[in-house]
Amino acid sequence: MDRKKFIKTSLLAISGFYFLHADLFQAVQPKISNQEKKVIDTPILIIGSGYGGAVSALRLCEAGKKVVMLEMGLNWEKSGIPFSNLLKPGKSAAWLKKKTIAPFMNLFSLTPFTGTLDRLDFEHINIWVGRGVGGGSLVNGGMAVTPKESYFREVFPDLDARKFYSTYFPLVHKELKVNVIDEQFLKDCPYYQFTRVGEEEAHKAGFKTIRVPNVYDFQYMEKEYRNEVPRSALNTEVIYGNNHGKNSLDKTYLKKALETGNLEILDLHRVDHIKLNDDKTYTLNVQQTDTSGAAVADKIFNCQKLILAAGTMGTLKLLLHSHAMSQFPVHEEIGKSWGNNGNFMTGRNWVKPMSGGTGAKQSTIPVGGIDNWDDPEHPFFTEIAPLPMGMDVATALYLLINRVDKKGEVSYDAGSRKLVLDWNESHTAGMRKNADYFIKKMNRANGGTRSHFLFNNGFGADVCYHPLGGCVLGKATNEYGKLKGHDHLYILDGSLIPGTIGVNPFVTITAIAEYCIENLIRENEFA
Ligand code: FAE
């Protein structure tokens, strides 16, 4: 990816947009005094630049609509600040924290900065999310997994599954640049010893493995390995951003949307709350910050059409907080059917300690999975995850994805101004049983112990990378994501999926957003 070209294109697109909207130009002048609240009028506004926001932006811009996107995180491409890696965490490592916030080994101190990774802490669960232009695509492992059709049908009985598997999933694969590792490279590359060992052990224990596609460019990775290009996946870059190789949204959907000249992205703009006006337009209270998190301006945005794509937790917070602030109407289904997508982390120690373990050098990009979904007693899918610690720790890490048989619920406490999550050990009991079954079976066949030094005795029930639900498609919204009780507000992100999808979720989030925005445009919602 040509970084300079992207920056140039973005700037060109943005300057073209300002030329058409001189009033908006003033809105991004830095260091505006807090006294003068800027008021900005815009027809279509999108909150959040993750998967749902990026898809909506591209399709609306292609349809000739001018779109403003507000993102609380930093535009890393534009800033020119490099991402840091796991072994040397720097500016990009955490959202305004004094210490790193990875799931484990948080030994590193930080100067608070608007970094890419944030963690939302609840009593029984910690939820990691991405911040910055590109949302979760900046920090995630790039695993691009299409759900099993039978489970998709079960989760979304009212959707036309045939159309999803013939049209939307293939479209999303193309747009997100999904590709698969070359088997010979996987076999030869020392950085994939953890995957080879993981698969071999799984087979020995009687499990079925699958190859997992990814948006990381594997041809680039092969060049990294040959030292022909700068290293990223082979240089412990992942959850704090990738400087190369990964096709995050800023290099796919958002790049294309900017190239239309119709999209303007305002980064470091955090929406605090939304008001529904009598004429059915929306007014947003927005705070612009600098990279230390300090406020540099308070702004008011007025819009006719509003797309909420702030990610499951961001969207729920905006809706419920706005309700508390200004009686913003929220449907009774808001907050219901929330789930962690069955996320359950676990690990094993003493994995092949006498024959090189899981490898001192590890690629950060997972390519292997264990598929036990069809086992009626213990249905789960698990990623064979990397643990790139710069030395061989003979430890295997797994992120299980289970069914979510008991859903949680999200509400809001106006006193503390925080979301409240009804979610505890009872919601993850079945997931824990699956993890226990899996680890015991692997250990019986291969040796090793449950990894007591990772998480809580090796059972990470509180680790969640995939928050889903709370604004379920067809329940809190109409069949295309329009929020019930509103004429011009649309939800297009992970909150539409009812708490579970059985695999890593961004391919599904993107496909659902494609389906919704296509139909919303067809129905002249943005005319
Ligand atoms: P998301 O991508 O979260 O974007 C929402 C955006 O809205 C963010 O940029 C926020 O900063 C912004 N925002 C929130 N509130 C506000 C506000 N008030 N004002 C302005 N902006 C706001 O939403 N999924 C996979 O499928 N494969 C993987 O390999 C994978 N690995 C993951 C690894 C990690 C460490 C994490 C944290 C997640 C991973 N995920 C993975 C999950 C995936 O990234 C996530 O489901 C999607 O990013 C969610 O997409 P949304 O469009 O819902």
For 64-83, what is the HEC assignment? CCCEEEECCCCCHHHHCCCC
Q: Which atom of ligand 1 is nearest to the CA of 135?
A: 9
Q: State in Å: Cα 135 to ligand 1 middle.
A: 5
As given in the structure block, the two tokens for residue 473 are 């498609």
Model pTM?
A: 0.94
Q: Which atom of ligand 1 is nearest to the CA of 492?
A: 52
The closest residue, in CA terms, to atom 23 on ligand 1 is 311
Q: State in Å: Cα 453 to ligand 1 middle.
A: 28
User: Amino acid identity of 333?
Assistant: E
Indicate if 154 belongs to the active site.
no
Q: CA 315, CA 494: separation in Å to the nearest integer?
A: 9
Q: State in Å: Cα 375 to ligand 1 middle.
A: 30
Q: In which region does residue 178 sit, left (phi positive, over 0), alpha (psi from -120 to 50) or beta (all else)?
A: beta
Q: CA 425, CA 502: separation in Å to the nearest integer?
A: 20
Mean pLDDT (the chain, rounded)? 92
Closest CA to 435 of 351, 342, 346: 346
- In this predicted structure, the answer to whether residue 146 has a pLDDT above a threshold of 70 is yes
Q: State in Å: Cα 333 to ligand 1 middle.
A: 22
Q: Which atom of ligand 1 is nearest to the CA of 270?
A: 19
Q: Which residues line ligand 1 (CB under 6 A)?
A: 47-52, 70-73, 128-132, 135-136, 139-143, 239, 270-271, 309-312, 314, 318, 465-466, 493-494, 504-506, 509
pLDDT of residue 31: 44
Q: In which region does residue 131 sit, left (phi positive, over 0), alpha (psi from -120 to 50) or beta (all else)?
A: beta
Candidate from 365, 506, 510 with most ligand 1 atoms within 8 A of CB, to mutate:
506
DSSP calls for 493-521? SGGGS-S--SS-SHHHHHHHHHHHHHHHH
The closest residue, in CA terms, to atom 6 on ligand 1 is 48
Judge contact between 196 and 367, C-beta under 8 A: no
Percent of the chain with pLDDT over 70: 93
- In this predicted structure, the answer to whether residue 2 has a pLDDT above a threshold of 50 is no
Closest CA to 507 of 177, 105, 59, 94: 177
List CB contacts of 442: < 8 A, sequence separation 6 or more.
Answer: 201, 202, 205, 348, 396, 448
* First vs last C-alpha separation in the chain: 35
pLDDT band at 22 (very low <50, low <70, confident <90, very high): very low
Q: Which atom of ligand 1 is nearest to the CA of 507?
A: 26
Q: Among the options 77, 199, 264, 383, which is catalytic?
A: 383
pLDDT of residue 457: 82
- Higher per-residue confidence, 103 vs 345: 345
As given in the structure block, the two tokens for residue 187 are 């076999």
The overall longest dimension of the chain from CA atoms, in Å, is 71
Q: State in Å: Cα 393 to ligand 1 middle.
A: 30
Q: Which atom of ligand 1 is nearest to the CA of 249?
A: 2
The closest residue, in CA terms, to atom 27 on ligand 1 is 143
- In this predicted structure, the answer to whether residue 216 has a pLDDT above a threshold of 90 is yes
Q: Is the dihedral of CA 28, 29, 35, 41 positive or negative?
A: negative
Q: Which atom of ligand 1 is nearest to the CA of 70?
A: 20
Over range 168-184, report the average pLDDT: 98
Candidate from 129, 216, 387, 468 with most ligand 1 atoms within 8 A of CB, to mutate:
129
The closest residue, in CA terms, to atom 40 on ligand 1 is 140
Q: State in Å: Cα 112 to ligand 1 middle.
A: 20
**For the segment 454-479, what is each residue's pLDDT rounded down to a tens digit?**
877 889 999 999 999 999 999 999 99
pLDDT of residue 36: 64
Q: Among the options 269, 273, 427, 466, which is catalytic?
A: 466
Closest CA to 321 of 334, 333, 336, 309: 334
Indicate if 488 belongs to the active site.
no
Judge contact between 104 and 454, C-beta under 8 A: yes
Q: How many residues does the chain have?
A: 527
> What are the sequence ranges of the domains in the chain?
3-80+88-522
Candidate from 253, 365, 466 with most ligand 1 atoms within 8 A of CB, to mutate:
466
Q: State in Å: Cα 136 to ligand 1 middle.
A: 3
Q: Which atom of ligand 1 is nearest to the CA of 131?
A: 11
pLDDT band at 389 (very low <50, low <70, confident <90, very high): confident
Pick the CATH number of 3-80+88-522 from 3.40.640.10, 3.60.20.10, 3.30.420.10, 3.50.50.60: 3.50.50.60
- In this predicted structure, the answer to whether residue 25 has a pLDDT above a threshold of 70 is no
Candidate from 465, 497, 510 with most ligand 1 atoms within 8 A of CB, to mutate:
465
